[in-house]
Structures are given as C-alpha cells and as structure tokens.
A and B are shown apart, each in its own frame.
Chain A
Amino acid sequence: MFKSIQQKLKDASILEENEPILSFIQVVDFNKQQQQFKKIAKEELASLVQNKFYYFLASIKTADNDSTPIIYLLKLNDKTNDFKLKVTYYLDDIKTITKIDNTIKQTLSNGNSLETNVYAFELLFRCDSDDSLNETTDQKLKFVWQCNKVEERNDFLDTLWKLSEQFLKASSRPKFINYKFEPKKTLVQTKDDEESNDNSIIKDINQQYEISKTDEDSLLKLMSECDFASSNAEKFIEKLQTELLQLDTSNIESIMNSEENTLKLIDMLDVAVQEIDKIDDRLKEYEDKISAVGDAVRIVGERDNVIQLQQNNQFALLELLESMIINLDFPAENLHVLKSLDLTKPESIRKVIKVANNLLDLLETELPSSLTKMKAYEEQKKTLEKYKISFCGHLCKNLRNAIGHATNKHLESEGKNDANRVTIPSHKKIHDDLLALKELVFWVHRSNCMFSEQNQTKTFYEDLKQNYIETIKQLYIKEVNEFCMSAKAGIAKLDRPRPNVSMENIKGSMIRSLEKSHIGDSFGSKTDQNHKDTLKAIFVKLLNYLTNAVTSEEKFCLEFFAIPPKQGKLDESIVSSNSGNSKLLSNLPRTNSNLSLVSTNTTSSKLLGDPKTDFSVLKEIFSVLIEDQVKQVMDSIIKTDYIMVLFLYSNMLAGVSTCHQNRQYMHQPMVGLLRFAKEKCDEFVRNFKEFISETKVNRKEKIGILKFVKYFEEFVKEAEICWEPIKNDYSEKLCNIYEGIVRDIFKAIEDIASVSQKTPQEVVLFQNYHQMTHIMRGINGLKDLTRKAREDYINWQKEYVKRLFGRPLEKIHIFFEKVQAKLDRGYVHQDISYQLELSANNLAQIISEYPAREVKRGLYDLYNKVEKHLEDNSSLLQVVWRDMSTEFITQYKNYETLIKLCYEGHNIKFDFTQEDIYKFFNEISIERSKEHKF
C-alpha cells in the first residue's frame, strides 16, 4: 500500500526521491466536523466527511547529512484520485501531541441519540514557527484530527514518537500527552501482516540512516558539545540566520562585481590560444628538419657497417687462405724423408711415420667446399696425392722386403736343425722385427692407395697383407710338415712288427690293439702301456706346439694388421675424396674377397665393440694345413695302436672346450679335428661291436672267459685313463659308448652259451658274467647293468652246482628224488618203503653200489670235472667247489633223514659217514694243492 502511494506522491512531486513514507493515516478535521454535526444527520455526515478526507503522512526529509522528520497533510481529489499537498509540518514545529479517546454522545435531529467512539489526536504547534497556517489562527494553532480506526491512529502516533525520539533534540521534541509508547509485541504476534509492515518501516529507517552513520556520530558529538548551550540555541540560530542573510547578500554583490573581470580573463585566454597555435606550427617545422637529419645519420651509419663487414670478410678470407696454405703445405725436407725412407733405425722409422702421417693429415683435412674449387688447391692436392702414392708404393716395396728379409733370417737360423725337427720354431724374431713397422702398415691401410694389376684394382694394404700371408704360409707349411713328419717318425718307431699281415684290416688292427695290451704277460702289457704313453706324449706335444704357434701368430696378425678404431671413421671420407680425385680407379677395390672384408670388418667390428675377432688372415695362412697335418698324425697313431682313438677323442674334447673359452682361432681346426677323432672313435666302437656279435666259438672246445670280454676290460681300462681329465664334463659320452657295448656283450654271451657243447651253458654264463661284473663295477653310469650281470652270475652258478653235485651218488640221488616226489604228493613216510620201486631192498642195493671208495672217487671226478669246465686257474674254482661241498653234505644229511623216516628198521646205512665225506674233501684239496705246487 505504501509503495503505490509513495509512487503516486513522487509522481506528484510531493515527495522527493529518497523520502520514505513511514506512516500514512486517513483523518478528518474534527473541528469542522464538530461545527457541522449540529446541522447534519449522520448519514449525510458520512458522505460529507468522506468528501473532506485528509491524509496525514509521516516522513523524513534528508538533506546535507541532516534528517528532519516531516508530516505532510494531503488532500485527495476524488475525481482525479490524485493527492494534493495541503500543508507540510516539521515535527519539531509541533509543541504537543495529544491522544484523544472519547465517546461522544450526540442527540441527532431526528431525536435519536448517537453514541460514537472518537479516536483522534490533537496537534499543538509552536506559534513562532507557523508560517502557513492562516485559517487556524483563531484556533491558536491547535488542530484535532479524527481517525476512523484506532489501530491506524495508534500506529501513526507510534511513528511520530519514534521519529521524535530518534531524530529530534530533547528540547525540540513534541510533548506527548495521554500517550505512552507501547511496543506492540503482543499485538504483533497475532497480526502477521502488520508486524511485517511495521518491521519493514523500521528497517527502512535504519537502512536510510545507517549510511550516514559517521555523520550521525559527528552530529551527536556536536550536539553533545552544544547541549549545554541549547538554551541559547534559538538566539544563536536567529543570529546565524541574519548573518547568513548578510553573507548571501554580499556574495551576490561580489558575483555581480566580478563579471567584468571574467570577461577580461576570457579575452586573455583567447590571446593565449592564438599564441599556442603559432608555437605549434613552429614545432612542426623543427620536427621535419630533425627527421631529415636523422635519416642522413642513419644512412651514414649503415655505410660504416658495410665497410666494417668488408674488412672482417677480408680478414677472414686471409685467415682461411693462410690456414689452407698451412694445411696443404708439405715442406721439401719432409718429401726428402719420404723419398730416402730409412727403415733401419727405430728413430728414423719414427720420423718417417710422423712425416707420412702428416702427409695423410694434409690430405684428409676438411676444407670448405668452396675452397676446394680453387685451382691452386686442386693442384696442390694432386701433388700431395702423387707424393702419397709414390711413397706408398715405395714403402710397400720396402715392407715386402722387410717381410722377406725377416723370414729369410729366420730360415737361416733354423736351417741347421732342419733334419730332425722336434719343435715348431718360434717366430718371435720375425714378429718382433715386423712389429717395429706396424704403424707403417697401418699407414698403408689409412692411405687406402690402390694400384692396378692385370685389370684388377688392389689396395696396397691388401697386397701387402697378401704378400705376408703367402710368405708366412710357405714357412708354416714347411715347418708344420717337418714337425708332423718327425712326430710320425716317432710314432712309426713304436709300431711293433705286425705278426699277421692278413689281419691288417681295420678290425684286425682293433683286435691287435686290444690283444696287445691284454695278453696276460706283465712285460708285454707294461711295454704296451709305455708305448701308449709315448704316443700320447707325442700327440700332446704336437698339439701344444701347434697351438702355441697359432696363438702367437694370431696375436701378431691382430697387432700387425690392426686398424685402430678411432681412425676407422676417417677411412670412409678418404675413400670418398680419393675416388673423386684419383685417376687410378673409379670403382672400389675388389681383390681377394676375404681380405677386402678384413679391413671393413675389423673396422666396423671394432667400432661396434664386437668381441668376435676376425680370423680371416689366420684362415688364409693356415687354411687346412693344421687339420690335414694333425689328421695324418692321428691316422698314424691309430694305425700303430687303434685303441688310441679313445685318447684322441677325449683329448680333442678337452682341447676344443679350452679354445672355445679363450676365443682362439685354433678353435676352428680343433673342431674339425674333434669331428675326425669322433668319427674314428665311432668307427672303432662299431668294429668292436661287430666283432662281439660276430664272435663264433668252436662248440667242441672249452669255453672260458670270452675274448671280447677280455677286450672289453682293456677298452674300459684305457677309456677310464683317457676320460679321467674330462670326466666332469663328458662322462656321459663315455657311458653311452659303454652301454652300447655292454648290451651287445650280454647278448653275445647268451648266444654263445646256448650253442656250447663241451662247456656247460651255465659255466659259460656265470664265468663271463662274473668277469663282466668285475669289469663294470666302479663305473658310475653302469650301475644297473652291473647289477644285472651280478645277478646272472649268481643265478647261473647256482644252476651249475645244482646240475652237477648229484653226480657222485647219481643213483641214490635219483632214488631219493623219487622219494621226495612221493612225499610231496602226500604219501606217508611209512608207506614209502612199500612202493615197489622204492622198496628198502632196492635202496639197499643202490646204496651198496656206492662204497666209500667209490664215493671218494666220484667226488674226485666231480672236482676234476669242475676244474675242467672252468677256465684255467679260475678263481671261481674254490667258490664253486665250496658250494658243491656244502650242497653235497646237505643232501647227504637229507638222505639220512629220509632213511630214518621212511626206512626205519630196515637197517639201511651208507657205507660212509659225514666225517668220511669231510675226509674225502680234505684229501682232494690236499692233493690238488700239492699238484698246484708243481
């Protein structure tokens, strides 16, 4: 409601922009009303009053940090519904405000009495401050206004009270009569709308005046300061107003007076503006001139720079040319050094190397490409190039001579003991002589000079290398051949006269080899072992010398033909620059493919840090020489003593693994030799196996320990010796060989036993298995086969004893076997003697056929038989005889028991007692031992 009214009032310019409406009340002029009440009826009154409605409005006018509460009296025009300002009161104009609550009793014209509750208030103004109240003079500035609603009236009064409390000094506050401010707390709670309205008013006020809080403070301060003087305030204000009036007047006067001066000032300003324009023009002129001068200076500066630049360029060019000359200058004295080429003294060699390297450095110097187009440069390059090539040729000739010279010197010194060469002579002297020149060799490589020969282009380096290879190769061929020849001669000395030429096939030589070491004679086997040791020593020595020679040659070659890794990169640039300039060739060298690879390979491999060393030079030098020669020696060793293949094989296994670990070139021929030795060894084993499976025996002859078993013993003996040094790494290889042979032997033993006639099968089996057990025991990889051999030996020996022990009492034996069979079938002991063929008489008769003398003879025969069955001098005789004796006595006791059980009372007795049997055995053994003595 306030807002719309406020807007309306603002539109009507009654209220200023920031003037809030704090309270708004509809009132009636009570005084006028009272006058009219007498004439008008109530109904009429109502319409009348309605026409004369006034409105009071409480507000605050704020100006210059000073707030003044204001009350507006407005009149509402009913037609336009517009407000019209009637009077404006300042709150401090009001002297007293009286609240009136009366019940007025009136007697109306129609005789009815009317009782009306009147809610009104009276405003009494101060007389001095009232300017505009003309019509109320008679009322003596006293107005009474009636309101319709008590709440509105109260509210309005509340607002006035609050305003006066808040904004007016105590002296100028209106006095409230019959009114007491009551905060409408209780009321508020019941009427929400009003409360919120009420609150908003207060808030508005607060908001309005909080902004000027500082002002308020200063005001308050001022007020407090002036409080004591408030009694004089009115006088003071009056005085101030008069003074102010005076001041205003004088102000206006002075303003009026200064007009002339102002006009003058304006004129002066005009003049000044004109002056400024003039100055401006002049400044522009100066500016143009200055910029012209600036341009000129700039141009001069640029010119100066160009001159400086030219000067610098000239200096740089001079420097460049000087350095180019230094880089291309090759003094005549250097040329002299190269031409004279003295390689006899170390210091002159050093000098030559220095000068030669200097030459290459000059040629390799990288100059800016623009300079290289100069004719002088090209000419100088050509000259240097010419020096280089001529020196290179000269040098290579000298180096070749040096190689030849060193070799010849070596041959001369070694020539004396040519005939009986027991070593490969050391090439240390050659190597030392040549290593003094190794830097020159590297120079040759670095120079990359080439020449043509028979339509082929070669580098001097390759040619030199080829020359060395050829020379030294011949030397090695000679020396290695001689050495191997002497080794072969040494081997041939050991070759014993061949007893049977027809046996000289491979198998024959195998048998001979095994036979040689076997033949039970101590002298023979000892010399054989000596021969074997000698052969081994020869071979080991041969291999050692060869390995040493190859290793030192390898070391030399790597050093002599080495290309330091740092220079490797430069090579390519030389190649490219040379191939452009040199008229000698246009295509890259294509010599021996192996050799051309050397340079590039070693270079790149060294650059890459490849640990794999290049062996191509060594490959060329030794080629197949070592393999061939050593194979020949191996052959002759094998020819002398075939079983040496075991040694060769085992020795090569060890040798290869050593070479492999040391990354030596020797590894290559060694691998070939290992393959060769293995083939030979396999061949030997194959032949041995064939020999085993093809062994035939004369079935009419006695068979003892088979030949191949004896041979196997020799084989094992030798193999164990050979494998001793390498058993940790290669014992499995040997075990595999053993196993193959052993299985063949087992099979052959069974085969031969089954066809034997003279010797019982069991004897063949247990004797040979006994021997096999003996041979194989102690070989770790053959545990299972050993166990099998031993079991077979024990079983077949048992079988043999069982088969033979009955012989001395054959008939008795058979008789009691039948008895035992009957018993086994469940016959009662007593019934046995009633069997026709087992009658006591029969038994008595059979027993009578075996008198003690006869039994003794039988046992003696048995002993002889066993001895005949077994091998001569067999150590198993005692074992078998002991078993037989035990078995015989056991059976004798068994017979006695059976007689006691089955033939009780028939008085049957052997002709001999157990004691007699012991006696027989004893006598036999005494007899035998006597015979053995002689």
Chain B
Amino acid sequence: MTSSQNGKKQAPIYKVIMVGSGGVGKSALTLQYMYDEFVEDYEPTKADSYRKKVLLDGEEVQIDILDTAGQEDYAAIRDNYFRSGEGFLLVFSITEQESFDVLDEFREQILRVKNAEDVPLILIGNKSDLQNSRQVRQEVATDKANKWLKPYIETSAKTRDNVDKAFFDLMREIRNRKLSENNKPTGNRRDKKKKKKCTIL
C-alpha cells in the first residue's frame, strides 16, 4: 500500500500493459523479452504479470508487465487494469488486418480510462518474420502511428527482432513522462483535469 521503508533506494517501477486482440503475440513478445524463449503453442492468456530488473540507460529499473487477455469477456473490465498501466504496447499482427483495425478502439479506451490525451504508447506490428502473409502494409501502420504521434515498431517475437527495442523505447517514454510530471508543481498533479490541460499546452 504505502511504499516500502527503503523506498528511496528502490528501483523505479515501470508498469507496462500489453494490449491487442487475441493471437497477435502479446504473450510471445513478453516471454521473449523476459526469458529469451519463444513458445510455439498458442494458449489464450487470461492475465499474467511479469517483473524484471533491467538497466535502462545505466539506471537500474524494474519493469512490471501485465500481459492481458485479447479476448476479454467484459470489455469494461479492461478499464480497471488499463488505469494501473503507465505505458502501453498496442500490438497487432501484420498478418491480420482486423487486429490492426481494432487498435483505434483500444487506444480510445486507454485515453478515456487514463483521462488523458496522451499516454506513453507504442504501436507494435508483430510477426514481422511472416512477410509472405503480410496484410498490413508498413506505410499504413506508420500512417496510423503518425496520426497518433506515436512510434511504430515492427517486431518478431520468434526471431526476437526489435523486441528489446519495443520495451526499452516504451520505458524511455514512461521515464520522460514521469520526469515531466515531477517537474510540475505538486498542486497541479492533484487535479487530473488540470494536468491534462497542462499537457495540451
């Protein structure tokens, strides 16, 4: 509840949430990042969490990854855990147009829940090793990311291509966001609406 006694010394925690439809490879990306392993068998996730200490640009930090269910019975449930996230990887499969299309909804939900116009977020086109079955062209994905003013990264959980980059870039986004928030007067932080306005400005 309250931060631990040696809170000052503790490594900062970055809470990352994996978002996207079922089967796009959220768990695969997470496991590859955490344990350097690639699991071939597909087993739908309900929700699982992972924690790891890493060096981010020389600083030791702790990353908490919440791997969520692509197929959520009650979409509203997502609100609860989206709220706890500090950064989001919006994952789609480049071999499945629909998984790409639904991301707009996810993003809107995140922004709504976080009550912000901008959150640390990266658009991830996974399964880049399956170029032959590609359905979502890179330019299309880049366009969407540009529209969101977010980066777009193509990854392969199978070949580990860009996997570390995706997580580290997101952590850097989160770190930058935190820094900019800490620099603000404390009074502003209490009111979220105000904070939101501040970011716009």
Q: In whole angstroms, what is the CA distance A885 to B47 when docked? A: 12
> Is B201 positioned at the interface, with any CB of A under 8 Å from its CB?
no
Range for the number of chain A residues in contact with chain B: 35 or more
Known contacts: A774-B50, A878-B81, A883-B47. The answer to whether A522 contacts B35 by CB under 8 A is no
Looking at the assembled complex, report how far the CB atom of B170 sits from the nearest CB atom of chain A, in whole angstroms.
Answer: 17
Interface members, chain A 889-933 (any B CB < 8 Å): 889-890, 918, 921-922, 924-926, 928-929, 931, 933
Tell me which residues across on chain B come within 8 A of A523, comparing CB atoms.
9
Looking at the assembled complex, report how far the CB atom of B90 sits from the nearest CB atom of chain A, in whole angstroms.
Answer: 18
**Judging by beta carbons under 8 Å apart, are A890 and B73 in contact?**
yes
Q: In whole angstroms, what is the CA distance A926 to B31 when docked? A: 29
Looking at the assembled complex, report how far the CB atom of A865 sits from the nearest CB atom of chain B, in whole angstroms.
Answer: 13
Known contacts: A873-B4, A879-B47. The answer to whether A929 contacts B37 by CB under 8 A is no
**Judging by beta carbons under 8 Å apart, are A878 and B35 in contact?**
no
Looking at the assembled complex, report how far the CB atom of A287 sits from the nearest CB atom of chain B, in whole angstroms.
Answer: 122
Looking at the assembled complex, report how far the CB atom of B114 sits from the nearest CB atom of chain A, in whole angstroms.
Answer: 9
> Is A239 positioned at the interface, with any CB of B under 8 Å from its CB?
no
Known contacts: A873-B4, A921-B80, A931-B1. The answer to whether A526 contacts B37 by CB under 8 A is no
> Is B51 positioned at the interface, with any CB of A under 8 Å from its CB?
yes
**Judging by beta carbons under 8 Å apart, are B77 and A921 in contact?**
yes
Tell me which residues across on chain A come within 8 A of B37, comparing CB atoms.
777-778
> Is A876 positioned at the interface, with any CB of B under 8 Å from its CB?
yes
Tell me which residues across on chain A come within 8 A of B68, comparing CB atoms.
882
**Judging by beta carbons under 8 Å apart, are A933 and B189 in contact?**
yes
Q: In whole angstroms, what is the CA distance A525 to B66 when docked? A: 25
| Nearest-neighbor residue (CB-CB) of B36 within chain A | A778
> Is B42 positioned at the interface, with any CB of A under 8 Å from its CB?
no
Tell me which residues across on chain A come within 8 A of B81, comparing CB atoms.
878, 881-882, 925
Tell me which residues across on chain B come within 8 A of A770, comparing CB atoms.
49
Q: In whole angstroms, what is the CA distance A928 to B6 when docked? A: 22
**Judging by beta carbons under 8 Å apart, are A521 and B77 in contact?**
no
> Is B118 positioned at the interface, with any CB of A under 8 Å from its CB?
no
**Judging by beta carbons under 8 Å apart, are A878 and B49 in contact?**
yes
| Nearest-neighbor residue (CB-CB) of B52 within chain A | A774
Q: In whole angstroms, what is the CA distance A604 to B33 when docked? A: 62
Looking at the assembled complex, report how far the CB atom of A244 sits from the nearest CB atom of chain B, in whole angstroms.
Answer: 139
B residues contacting the other copy or chain, number (CB 8 A)? 33
> Is B84 positioned at the interface, with any CB of A under 8 Å from its CB?
yes
> Contact mask A759-779 → B, CB, 8 Å, 1/0?
000000000001000100110
Tell me which residues across on chain B come within 8 A of A878, comparing CB atoms.
47, 49, 66, 80-81, 84
| Nearest-neighbor residue (CB-CB) of B84 within chain A | A878
Looking at the assembled complex, report how far the CB atom of B167 sits from the nearest CB atom of chain A, in whole angstroms.
Answer: 15
Contact residue among A522, A873, A876, A881 (Cβ-Cβ distance under 8 Å from B60)? A522
Interface members, chain B 32-48 (any A CB < 8 Å): 34-37, 46-48
Tell me which residues across on chain B come within 8 A of A774, comparing CB atoms.
34, 50-51
**Judging by beta carbons under 8 Å apart, are A521 and B9 in contact?**
yes
**Judging by beta carbons under 8 Å apart, are B4 and A922 in contact?**
no
> Is A872 positioned at the interface, with any CB of B under 8 Å from its CB?
yes
**Judging by beta carbons under 8 Å apart, are A521 and B49 in contact?**
no
**Judging by beta carbons under 8 Å apart, are B73 and A526 in contact?**
no
> Is B173 positioned at the interface, with any CB of A under 8 Å from its CB?
no
**Judging by beta carbons under 8 Å apart, are B48 and A885 in contact?**
no
Tell me which residues across on chain B come within 8 A of A925, comparing CB atoms.
79-81, 83-84
Tell me which residues across on chain B come within 8 A of A867, comparing CB atoms.
1
Interface core residue of A770, A882, A886 (most chain B CB under 10 Å)? A882
**Judging by beta carbons under 8 Å apart, are B84 and A929 in contact?**
yes
Tell me which residues across on chain B come within 8 A of A931, comparing CB atoms.
1
**Judging by beta carbons under 8 Å apart, are A879 and B80 in contact?**
no
Q: In whole angstroms, what is the CA distance A929 to B47 when docked? A: 19
**Judging by beta carbons under 8 Å apart, are B49 and A881 in contact?**
no
> Is A524 positioned at the interface, with any CB of B under 8 Å from its CB?
yes
Interface core residue of B49, B66, B68, B72 (most chain A CB under 10 Å)? B49
> Is A415 positioned at the interface, with any CB of B under 8 Å from its CB?
no
Q: In whole angstroms, what is the CA distance A523 to B6 when docked? A: 11
Q: In whole angstroms, what is the CA distance A53 to B99 when docked? A: 157
**Judging by beta carbons under 8 Å apart, are B1 and A922 in contact?**
no
**Judging by beta carbons under 8 Å apart, are B64 and A875 in contact?**
yes
Q: In whole angstroms, what is the CA distance A878 to B65 when docked? A: 11
**Judging by beta carbons under 8 Å apart, are B9 and A524 in contact?**
yes
| Nearest-neighbor residue (CB-CB) of B17 within chain A | A878
Looking at the assembled complex, report how far the CB atom of B185 sits from the nearest CB atom of chain A, in whole angstroms.
Answer: 15
> Is A368 positioned at the interface, with any CB of B under 8 Å from its CB?
no
> Is B10 positioned at the interface, with any CB of A under 8 Å from its CB?
yes
**Judging by beta carbons under 8 Å apart, are B35 and A521 in contact?**
no
| Nearest-neighbor residue (CB-CB) of B189 within chain A | A933
**Judging by beta carbons under 8 Å apart, are A778 and B35 in contact?**
yes
> Is A183 positioned at the interface, with any CB of B under 8 Å from its CB?
no
| Nearest-neighbor residue (CB-CB) of B83 within chain A | A925
> Is A497 positioned at the interface, with any CB of B under 8 Å from its CB?
no
Interface core residue of B35, B51, B74 (most chain A CB under 10 Å)? B74
**Judging by beta carbons under 8 Å apart, are A777 and B49 in contact?**
no
Q: In whole angstroms, what is the CA distance A760 to B168 when docked? A: 37
Known contacts: A872-B1, A875-B49, A878-B66. The answer to whether A522 contacts B79 by CB under 8 A is no
Q: In whole angstroms, what is the CA distance A933 to B178 when docked? A: 12
Q: In whole angstroms, what is the CA distance A873 to B4 when docked? A: 9
Q: In whole angstroms, what is the CA distance A890 to B74 when docked? A: 9
Interface members, chain A 847-899 (any B CB < 8 Å): 867, 872-873, 875-876, 878-879, 881-883, 885-886, 889-890
> Is A520 positioned at the interface, with any CB of B under 8 Å from its CB?
yes
Tell me which residues across on chain B come within 8 A of A928, comparing CB atoms.
84
| Nearest-neighbor residue (CB-CB) of A780 within chain B | B37
Q: In whole angstroms, what is the CA distance A918 to B112 when docked? A: 15
Tell me which residues across on chain A come within 8 A of B60, comparing CB atoms.
522, 525-526
Interface members, chain B 84-123 (any A CB < 8 Å): 84
**Judging by beta carbons under 8 Å apart, are B77 and A520 in contact?**
no
Tell me which residues across on chain B come within 8 A of A872, comparing CB atoms.
1, 4
> Is B149 positioned at the interface, with any CB of A under 8 Å from its CB?
no
Q: In whole angstroms, what is the CA distance A875 to B48 when docked? A: 9
Q: In whole angstroms, what is the CA distance A523 to B11 when docked? A: 9
> Is B76 positioned at the interface, with any CB of A under 8 Å from its CB?
yes
Tell me which residues across on chain A come within 8 A of B9, comparing CB atoms.
520-524
> Contact mask B1-34 → A, CB, 8 Å, 1/0?
1001010011101000000000000000001001
Looking at the assembled complex, report how far the CB atom of A575 sits from the nearest CB atom of chain B, in whole angstroms.
Answer: 69
Q: In whole angstroms, what is the CA distance A520 to B4 when docked? A: 10
Contact residue among B51, B66, B74 (Cβ-Cβ distance under 8 Å from A886)? B74
Contact residue among A524, A879, A881, A922 (Cβ-Cβ distance under 8 Å from B48)? A879
Looking at the assembled complex, report how far the CB atom of A234 sits from the nearest CB atom of chain B, in whole angstroms.
Answer: 139
Contact residue among A522, A876, A922 (Cβ-Cβ distance under 8 Å from B11)? A522
Tell me which residues across on chain A come within 8 A of B13, comparing CB atoms.
873
Q: In whole angstroms, what is the CA distance A502 to B77 when docked? A: 52
**Judging by beta carbons under 8 Å apart, are A886 and B73 in contact?**
yes
Known contacts: A774-B50, A876-B49. The answer to whether A885 contacts B1 by CB under 8 A is no
Q: In whole angstroms, what is the CA distance A876 to B51 when docked? A: 10
Q: In whole angstroms, what is the CA distance A872 to B51 when docked? A: 14
**Judging by beta carbons under 8 Å apart, are B51 and A929 in contact?**
no
Q: In whole angstroms, what is the CA distance A72 to B102 when docked? A: 157
Q: In whole angstroms, what is the CA distance A883 to B68 when docked? A: 11
**Judging by beta carbons under 8 Å apart, are A521 and B6 in contact?**
yes
Tell me which residues across on chain A come within 8 A of B51, comparing CB atoms.
774, 875
Tell me which residues across on chain A come within 8 A of B10, comparing CB atoms.
520-522
Q: In whole angstroms, what is the CA distance A929 to B79 when docked? A: 12
Tell me which residues across on chain A come within 8 A of B189, comparing CB atoms.
933
**Judging by beta carbons under 8 Å apart, are B47 and A882 in contact?**
yes
| Nearest-neighbor residue (CB-CB) of B34 within chain A | A777
Q: Which 8 A-B pairs have the closest CB atoms?
A: A521-B9, A778-B35, A875-B49, A522-B60, A918-B76, A777-B35, A925-B80, A522-B11
Q: What are 17 A-B pairs at a CB distance below 8 A?
A: A521-B9, A521-B10, A778-B35, A873-B4, A875-B64, A875-B66, A879-B47, A879-B48, A881-B80, A882-B68, A883-B47, A885-B74, A885-B80, A890-B73, A925-B79, A928-B84, A929-B84
With A520-B9, A520-B10, A922-B79 known, 18 other A-B pairs at CB within 8 A are A521-B10, A522-B9, A522-B60, A774-B34, A774-B50, A777-B31, A873-B4, A875-B49, A875-B50, A875-B51, A878-B47, A878-B80, A879-B66, A881-B81, A889-B73, A889-B77, A925-B79, A928-B84
